[in-house]
Amino acid sequence: MTTKQKILNEAMTLFAERGYSAVCVGEIAEAVGIKAPSLYKHFKSKQDIFNAILDEMRSNYDKQAAALNINGNKAEGDAPVFALVSEDVLVQMGIELFRFFLHDDYASKFRKMLTIEQFHNSELSMLYSKQYVDDPLVYQSTIFAYISASGGFINADPNIMALHFYAPIYMMLTMCDRQPEREKEALQLIEEHIKQFRAVYSKDGQT
């Protein structure tokens, strides 16, 4: 890994723990294993490091989303997969969504960083909403529209179904970001949540 990349990684780690303004360039340098002035051979300012982290995420976002089929606009292509496999597919989908978002080192740190910095300006506000609210809802919505059309669910607005499915997962995710020790509890709640979600939305009632 290049020094430039190391700087981005260590900076994001620190920003995710304490926020941009609480971290000084000397700490980033120390984490990388160099002295502060050397940073300025790679980035022209502290703000430039932060911007580079954002740029990196933006260019990786579609790739990441595609990797797990979580966000993005490939949902229509994915829906048949979900609709045709075992009936616990929803539970699997939710748990995997949760686990990936929570444990992926890069995704997790970036989300915490963005959580801390989300109020700093409207660009960051929009980015947060897009990545952790709007895109997942659009994706889930497409899936539920497909499943509904296939006749597996009662007739209901797929957007609201997506909200019902995703919001509890989102809340448990942000909870585990601040309290990782509650992951087990969160996973169990998510599993029960999805089972009940299936029960109330499926045509044949409870399972």
Partner DNA sequence: GTCTATAAGAAGATAGAC
Partner DNA sequence: GTCTATCTTCTTATAGAC
Nearer to DNA, 30 or 56 (CB): 30
Helices (H), 19-119: 25-32, 36-39, 46-68, 75-84, 89-103, 105-117
Give which of 102, 112, 106, 124 is closest to 16, Cα–Cα.
112
Give min distance, CB of 40 to DNA, in A: 4
Tokens, residue 22: 């609480």
Residue ranges binding DNA (CB under 7 A): 3, 23-26, 29, 34-38, 40-42, 44-47
Does the footprint of a copy of itself cover residue 201 (CB under 8 A)?
yes
Alpha helices in 104-205 (DSSP H): 105-117, 122-129, 135-149, 158-178, 183-201
46 binds a copy of itself (CB under 8 A): no
Q: Cα-flanking dihedrals φ and ψ of residue 183, to 5°?
A: -60, -45
| Cβ nearer to DNA, comparing 28 with 137 | 28
| Bridge partners for 61 per DSSP | none
- Residue that is written with structure tokens 């995420």 in the block: 57
For residues 201 and 85, what is the distance between their CA atoms, to the nearest angstrom? 18
User: Does 133 help bind a copy of itself (rule: CB under 8 A)?
Assistant: yes
Q: Exposed/middle/buried for 123, CB within 10 Å: 0-12, 13-18, 19+? A: exposed
Which of 118, 135, 152, 183 is in the footprint of a copy of itself by CB under 8 A? Answer: 118
Q: Which is nearer to a copy of itself, 34 or 133 (CB)?
A: 133
Q: Which does 192 bind (CB under 5 to 8 A by kind): a copy of itself, DNA, none?
A: a copy of itself
Of 147-166, binders to a copy of itself (CB under 8 A) are: 154, 156-157, 159-161, 163-164
- DSSP H or E stretch at residue 40: none
| Nearest distance in Å: CB 7, DNA | 8
* 185/168 Cα distance (integer angstroms): 13
Please identify which residue in 4, 100, 120, 152 interacts with a copy of itself, judged by CB under 8 A: 120
- The two three-digit tokens of residue 169, written as one number: 């997962």
Q: What residues between 169 and 188 interact with a copy of itself by CB under 8 A? A: 170-171, 175, 177-179, 182
Residues in the site for a copy of itself, rule: CB under 8 A? 16-22, 112, 115-116, 118-120, 122, 125-126, 128-129, 133, 154, 156-157, 159-161, 163-164, 167-168, 170-171, 175, 177-179, 182, 189, 192-193, 196-197, 199-201
